[in-house]
Chain A
Amino acid sequence: MSEFLFELNMLDSLLLLSAVTVAIAILCRVEYISGGVVTLLYLAQLVVVGMMISAGGVFSSHLTPQLFGYELGWLLDGLGLYFTLITVGSALLATLYMAGEWGRRYREQGKSFRALQSLLALNVFTMQLLLASSDLLSLFISWELASWAAFALMALSGGKGLKAALHYMIYAFSGAMLVFAVVAWIATTAVTAAYQLDINGAGILQFSSVAELMQQGIFTIPEQLLMLTLLLIGFGIKMGLLPFHLWQAPAYALSIGPAGAFLGAISSRLGLFAIIVVLFKIFGSITDGSILQSSFGFEFASVTPKTLLAWIAVATIIFPTFVAMRQNDARHLLAWHGIGQGGYMLLGLVMMDSLGSAGGLLHVFNHATYQAALFLAVTSVIYRTGTADLNRLGGLVVRMPLSFMTLLIGIIGLAGLPPMNGFVSKWLVYRSLLDQGELLLFVGAVIGTLGTILSVYKLIHNMFLGSLRKEHEEVREVSWSMLTPMLILSALILLTGLFPGIPLQWVAQGLSAVGLPVAEFNLGGVMADGGSLDMVIVSMVLFSGFGVAALIFYFVGGKSKRVNPLDNYAGGHFLYASNRYHYSNNFYAGLMHLIKPWYKNTFQRLERVVVTLLELTAESLSRLYMRPHSNQLALIIVVLLLW
Chain B
Amino acid sequence: MSNYLVLLVILPLLGAFLMQPLSQLLGSKQAGRKILQNFGRAVIAVTLTITYIVATEGEGVLQLPLSLLMGGFVVPVGINLYLDQFSLLWLVAIQVSLLILWPASRDIRQHLLLLVVAASSMGMALSGDLFNIYVFYELLAVATFGLVAQAPHPAAAVVSFRYLLLSAFGSVLALAGIAIIYSQSGSLNLAHLSAFVVNGETQFPLAAFLLLLVGFGVKAELFGVNGWVPEVYGVVSSRMSALLAGVISKIAVVVIVRIMLLLFPYPEASQALLVLGILGMVGGEWVAWHTAQRGGKLSTTLAYSSIGQLGMIFVAFSFSLTLGLFVGVALALHHLIVKSGLFMLSSAQLNRWQLGLFVLFGLSLIGVPPLPGFWIKLAMLQDLWATGGGLEQLAIALFLLATVVEASYLSKIISTQMVSPQFKSAKLGGNSEERRNLNLAWLYGILLFGAIFFINPLAETLHGIAVQTEDGELLRSVVLENSIDPLAGGEQ
Contacts and interface: CB of A to CB of B under 8 A. Distances in A.
A324 interface: no
B403 interface: yes
A67 B455 contact: yes
A166 B455 contact: no
B400 interface: yes
A162 interface: yes
Interface stretch (A181-189, A370-378, A507-515): A181-189
B291 interface: yes
Interface residues of B, number: 57
Contacts of A621: 282-283, 286-287, 290
Contacts of A66: 456
B403 A177 contact: yes
Interface in A388-414: none
B382 A625 contact: no
B396 interface: yes
Interface in A586-643: 614-615, 617-619, 621-622, 624-625, 628-629, 632-633, 635-636, 639-640, 643
A636 to B, nearest CB: 5
B450 interface: no
A566 interface: no
B211 interface: yes
Contact of B407 (A162, A170, A184, A640): A170
Interface string B438-464: 000000000000000001100100000
Contact of A169 (B173, B272, B385, B411): B411
Interface stretch (A12-20, A139-147, A242-250, A541-549): A139-147
A68 B378 contact: yes
Interface in B401-443: 401, 403-405, 407-408, 411-412, 415, 418-419
B368 A180 contact: no
A184 B210 contact: no
A118 B349 CA distance: 26
A614 B286 contact: yes
A141 B370 contact: yes
Interface in B183-211: 206-207, 210-211
Contacts of B206: 643
A251 to B, nearest CB: 13
A184 B287 contact: no
**Chain A: number of interface residues, binned into ranges:** 35 or more
A170 B455 contact: no
A151 to B, nearest CB: 8
Given A141-B369, A166-B415, A181 B381 contact: yes
Interface in B243-292: 272, 282-283, 286-287, 289-291
Contacts of A37: none
A617 B288 CA distance: 12
A527 B400 CA distance: 49
Question: DSSP class of B's interface residues: helix, strand, loop or mixed?
Answer: helix
A173 interface: yes
Given A155-B415, A632-B224, A640-B211, A624 B375 contact: no
A92 B473 CA distance: 64
B1 interface: no
A639 B290 contact: no
Contacts of A177: 400-401, 403-404
B225 interface: yes
B261 to A, nearest CB: 20
Contact of A643 (B207, B229, B411, B412): B207
A181 B400 contact: yes
Contacts of B304: 625
A230 to B, nearest CB: 10
B487 interface: no
Contacts of B52: none
A148 B363 contact: yes
Nearest to A633: B169
A180 B400 contact: yes
Contacts of A181: 381, 396, 400
Contacts of A640: 207, 210-211, 214
B379 interface: yes
A158 interface: yes
B316 to A, nearest CB: 14
B290 A618 contact: yes
Contact of B286 (A169, A173, A184, A618): A618
Nearest to A175: B404
Contacts of B227: 624-625, 628-629, 632
B407 A639 contact: no
B15 interface: no
Contacts of B286: 614, 617-618, 621-622
Contacts of A68: 375, 378-379, 455-456, 459
Interface in A216-259: none
Contact of A628 (B162, B230, B366, B368): B162
Interface of B: 162, 165-166, 169, 173, 206-207, 210-211, 214, 224-230, 272, 282-283, 286-287, 289-291, 293, 304, 363, 366, 368-370, 374-375, 377-379, 381-382, 385-386, 396, 400-401, 403-405, 407-408, 411-412, 415, 418-419, 455-456, 459
The 9 closest A-B pairs by CB, nearest first: A184-B381, A618-B290, A177-B400, A141-B369, A188-B385, A618-B286, A629-B227, A622-B287, A188-B382
22 contacts: A141-B369, A141-B370, A162-B419, A174-B404, A181-B400, A184-B381, A188-B382, A615-B290, A617-B286, A618-B290, A621-B282, A622-B286, A622-B291, A625-B230, A625-B287, A629-B228, A632-B224, A632-B225, A632-B227, A633-B169, A636-B214, A643-B210
